[in-house]
Amino acid sequence: MARVPTSKDVAKVAGVSQSTVSYVMSGKRPISEKTRRLVEDAMEQLLYQPHAGARALASQRTNIIAIVHPVLSNLGVGGIMAFIDEIAAQARRRDYDVLLVTADEGKESLRRVAGRALADAMVVMEVKAEDERAEVARGIAQPSLFIGYPDEALDEHSTLHCIDFDFAGGAELLVGELIGAGVHEIVVLGWGPEVVARGVNYVPRFRRRAEATAAAAGVPLRWVEVPRDSVAIRAALDDLLGSGSVPGLLLADGVPETLGALLDRGLRPGRDVDVVALCTDAEAEAQAVPVTAVSQQPRDVSRHAVEWLFQLLDDPAAPGEVRLVPAHLTRRQSVRPPN
């Protein structure tokens, strides 16, 4: 087992005295910015954890949960705000604050938060099928909980703790609803290339089950990657509807933009075309034609995540597990009743 680094190791790497390292951490004496940076860089390099290294402070907590979610300029933050808001609300109920870490640093973001003991536990989001942060999570003292799961979490020996919405179950319900309505073909307007390129794990899970469900029923299914903007969505609909044949539509993203484009064409969901969507209940009900949908249940997922995370704070050695919040379909007005 690797030796735990000490403040003496930090001092050696930084080229300063051990007392200077102590002053940087305690703030009891003024330290130049240059020296402070040298010490902090050495701490990060060594993954030095003051709270873990000092037995007298081992029982102290920061009362902070870190949410590690890279926010990219082309993706924005709209899709994650319900998660963050609910995590923060649940944390406040337990007298905890939230630290939001948004830099797209990969595993270094986890290393930085853990190495500086900035939080007692971490929620890791925007999880990829192959996620390098899993390796770091296995080696740090603070418990971490992934919203989403990398492929390795399904291994029976995995020590990762992961929770997510059941995207595969949601795909099965949505495709099944269109099949039940008697559509002759299903077109999925899926996530855009910029989302797929990120390697987030929910996209292949949803797609595999959607395709398998349609194939089992003998209904052709096409998958179209569409950027979430009105111009791209209208162009995609031009291609899909050019032949005059109207397929059943499953919207994985871009719900308001797609509904607006259909209505502009004189196609009313539930009358002229069957439409289902993967979106929150609030978004589904806010449309001119309320949409039959499966919600990703961001607040339920977040509430369960925080409850589990506090259990892990008391029992960090709990065995690894993947938990899924079940999918439910809510029928509204966007699918025609079967003849």
Q: What is the CATH topology of the domain spanning 64-165+299-325?
A: Rossmann fold (3.40.50)
The half-sphere exposure of 164 on its side-chain side, counting CA atoms within 13 A, is 28
pLDDT at 202 over 90: yes
pLDDT at 207: 97
Side-chain-side CA neighbours of 165 within 13 Å: the count stands at 24
Q: Closest Cα to residue 183, out of 73, 82, 334, 33?
A: 334
Residues in the chain: 339
Q: Is residue 330's pLDDT more than 70?
A: yes
| More confident: 97 or 113 | 97
pLDDT at position 55 is 36
64-165+299-325 matches 167-296 in fold? yes
Q: Count CB neighbours of 185 within 10 A.
A: 15
* Confidence check: pLDDT of 57 > 70: no
| Average pLDDT value for residue range 117-128 | 90
What is residue 208's predicted lDDT score, i.e. its pLDDT?
96
Q: What is the reported pLDDT for 106?
A: 76
Top-ranked range on mean pLDDT: pick from 2-6, 23-27, 28-32, 283-287? 283-287
Binned at pLDDT 50, 70 and 90, residue 1 comes out as: very low
Determine the 3-state secondary structure of 275 from DSSP.
strand
Burial of 91 (0-12, 13-18, 19+ CB in 10 A): buried
DSSP strand E in the chain: where?
64-68, 97-101, 121-124, 144-147, 161-165, 186-190, 221-225, 248-251, 275-278, 292-294, 321-325, 329-330
Task: Return the pLDDT at 27.
Answer: 62
Least confident piece of the model among 7-11, 27-31, 57-61: 57-61
CATH number, domain 167-296, options 3.40.50.2300, 3.40.50.1370, 3.10.180.10, 2.60.120.480 = 3.40.50.2300
- Residue 84 confidence (pLDDT) above 60: yes
Is pLDDT at 229 greater than 60 in this prediction? yes
Helix (H, G, I), strand (E, B) or coil at 330: strand
How does pLDDT run across 234-245, given as a tens digit for each residue?
998 988 887 777
Q: Say which residues have a Cβ less than 8 Å from residue 185's Cβ, sequence separation at least 6.
A: 219, 220, 221, 222, 245, 247, 248
Q: Which of 73-82, 98-107, 167-176, 294-303 has the lowest mean pLDDT?
A: 73-82
Give the chain's radius of gyration (CA, Å).
24
- What average pLDDT does the segment 283-289 reach? 95
Q: Where are the domains of the chain?
A: 1-36, 64-165+299-325, 167-296
pLDDT over 50 (residue 104): yes
pLDDT in tens, 299-323: 999 999 999 999 998 888 889 999 9
- For residue 43, what are the CA distances in angstroms to 26, 33, 49? 14, 15, 8
Calpha distance 154→309 (Å, rounded) = 19
